[in-house]
Amino acid sequence: MKQDMILILDLGSEENAMLAREIRALGVYTEIHPHDITLEELRKLPSVKGVILNGGKNRVVDGVEIDVRDEIYACGLPMIAADHKTNGKCPEIESFGACEKCRAKSLSEFVFDKCGCDKNWNMENFIADQIELIRNQVGDKKVLLALSGGVDSSVVAALLVKAIGKNLTCVHVNHGLLRKGEPEEVVRVFRDEMDANLVYVDAVDRFLDKLKGVDEPEQKRKIIGAEFIRVFEEEARKVDGIDFLAQGTIYPDIIESGTKTAKAVKAHHNVGGLPDDLQFELVEPLKMLFKDEVRACGDALGLPKGMVYRQPFPGPGLGVRCLGEITRDRLEAVRESDAILREEFAAAGLQGKVWQYFTLIPDTKSVGVRDNARSFEWPVVIRAVNTIDAMTAEIEEIPYELLKKITKRIITEVKGVNRVLYDLTPKPTGTIEWE
Ligand code: XMP
């Protein structure tokens, strides 16, 4: 392994992820593991140079005091305790964390001076290590991946192509709810440029038929999710001899699923739902990366910037932006107006500066005039928001001139649209999406 590792043992701290980020910011790789890790398990982890016991005030969990095993205290590795006493079991263990100012200094001293770590956490080393790990795990067996074209699945695909080439089969399901140019880009990047084994599934009619007449948002989401699994399952059955399923699980998914000492924030969404006879061993090479690290990894693997730095996009895609029943005319209008908005944001240098921006179409027409005649057409709504965690959001103040330019383009270029509105609502009270 090319990277030294500092092991964080989770003793009920709510700040494991923050500590992990602080150490990675020093240029040293770190992983968070449960407090009850055995010595044998620890020894199996590559290149561990030191251990941090991370437990704060909530070290008593459900009325029970938790601690690491005695064999870990005796493992001989340099150890430090963050915010917690060591029960007198290991008096030489120092503590840090009481004082904000000296925290960074003591962390740095521990990591470099006591543990002797090298500053070798970088994407080149990460990629080299992952390629070795993937090859060790998979051997010459075959791996399947649902490649949506989102950041995480794209980076997993690029990494696996590098590691195992044609033994990876990517399945890209076009459900008709992707943004303009996205399915084409997936094919261009992965099949044409990377020479990956890519199965492109045109399931547009199938999804739209299933969604016909459905106007309830949650019902729409359920249908899209269930149909996606069905299509993927059918394709998986066509590929012979698959042993592994690759997934773009990232570190926050794992952390948010809850550890032994913390309550789950949300369920971890696997490509679950596959039937029992299609359960594979998982390959999850990004499971220790934070989102910005996933992007850096994609960059280092040579993926297009637009793919790596793309804004968040909901799983049900344009399906939740074509309000009410999804009809083909409005779906195309959403797709076209969204493409115009993105193009103009990029031209104005706003790409990457605004967290999320898109258009949507309500299912109510309004009266207008076009070519000296009465028109009765759809409105397009522009939404642009900034947020840190998507729990609350502020609206982006789009310059007026830019709004006028976008409006003009939408009402002249997008078929069936005669009005453009700008949503000024923060979250709360409005959610980011309208459905
Ligand atoms: P809301 O609308 O809840 O959105 O304020 C917060 C963030 O989540 C995205 N979003 C979704 N993502 N599946 C997803 O993968 C969904 O069903 C879904 N609904 C909303 C939304 O785009 C925003 O970034």
CATH number for the domain spanning 87: value is: 3.40.50.880
Its pTM stands at 0.91
Residues 147 and 212 placed together within one structural domain of the fold: yes
Q: How much distance in Å is there from the Cα of 312 to the middle of ligand 1?
A: 8
Residues 284 and 144 placed together within one structural domain of the fold: yes
- How far is Cα 345 from Cα 238, in angstroms, rounded to an integer? 42
- How far is Cα 50 from Cα 425, in angstroms, rounded to an integer? 49
Instruction: Give ligand 1 pocket residues (Cβ under 6 A).
Output: 221, 312, 314-316, 356, 390, 427, 431-433
Name the residue at shortest CA distance from atom 14 of ligand 1. Answer: 314
Amino acid letter, residue 408 = K
Pocket test for ligand 1, best of 222, 425, 433 (most atoms within 8 A of CB): 433
Question: In the chain, which residues have pLDDT < 70?
Answer: 56-61, 83-101, 257-272
Residue 428: inside a domain, yes or no?
Answer: no
Q: Over the range 39-49, which residues count as b (16 or more CB within 10 Å of their CB) and which as e?
A: eeebeeeeebb
CATH at 394: 3.30.300.10
Measured from the CA of 313, which atom of ligand 1 is nearest?
22
Residues 253 and 134 placed together within one structural domain of the fold: yes
Residues 391 and 290 placed together within one structural domain of the fold: no
- How far is Cα 168 from Cα 157, in angstroms, rounded to an integer? 8
Q: How much distance in Å is there from the Cα of 359 to the middle of ligand 1?
A: 14
CATH at 129: 3.40.50.620
Using alpha carbons, list the distances in angstroms from residue 1 to 5, 46, 136, 172: 10, 7, 12, 33
pLDDT of the residue at 274: 84
Residues 287 and 162 placed together within one structural domain of the fold: yes
Last residue of a domain, one of 308, 337, 370: 308
Residues 175 and 301 placed together within one structural domain of the fold: yes
Residue 431: inside a domain, yes or no?
Answer: no
Residues 273 and 133 placed together within one structural domain of the fold: yes
Measured from the CA of 315, which atom of ligand 1 is nearest?
15
Q: How much distance in Å is there from the Cα of 313 to the middle of ligand 1?
A: 7
pLDDT of the residue at 269: 44
> What are 247-278's pLDDT values in tens digits?
999 998 887 765 566 554 444 444 557 888 88
Residues 338 and 273 placed together within one structural domain of the fold: no
Residue 176: inside a domain, yes or no?
Answer: yes
Residue 292: inside a domain, yes or no?
Answer: yes
Sign of CA dihedral 63, 67, 70, 71: positive
Q: How much distance in Å is there from the Cα of 396 to the middle of ligand 1?
A: 18
- The count of structural domains within the chain is 3
Measured from the CA of 312, which atom of ligand 1 is nearest?
24
pLDDT of the residue at 339: 98
Whether the bond between 285 and the residue before it is cis, its omega within 30 degrees of 0, is no
pLDDT of the residue at 111: 96
Last residue of a domain, one of 60, 83, 114: 114
Q: Over the range 269-297, which residues count as b (16 or more CB within 10 Å of their CB) and which as e?
A: eebeeeeeeeebeebbbbebbbeebbbbb
Residue 411: inside a domain, yes or no?
Answer: yes
Q: How much distance in Å is there from the Cα of 369 to the middle of ligand 1?
A: 35
Last residue of a domain, one of 252, 274, 308: 308
Measured from the CA of 393, which atom of ligand 1 is nearest?
5
Residue 142: inside a domain, yes or no?
Answer: yes
Residue 97: inside a domain, yes or no?
Answer: yes
Residues 289 and 401 placed together within one structural domain of the fold: no
Q: How much distance in Å is there from the Cα of 260 to the middle of ligand 1?
A: 28
Tell me which residue range forms the domain holding 206: 123-308
Residues 302 and 345 placed together within one structural domain of the fold: no
Q: How much distance in Å is there from the Cα of 320 to the middle of ligand 1?
A: 9
Residues 288 and 400 placed together within one structural domain of the fold: no
Residue 432: inside a domain, yes or no?
Answer: no
Q: How much distance in Å is there from the Cα of 433 to the middle of ligand 1?
A: 6
- How far is Cα 204 from Cα 192, in angstroms, rounded to an integer? 22
Name the residue at shortest CA distance from atom 12 of ligand 1. Answer: 314
Residues 15 and 160 placed together within one structural domain of the fold: no
Q: Of 116, 120, 99, which Cα lies nearest the Cα of 50?
A: 116
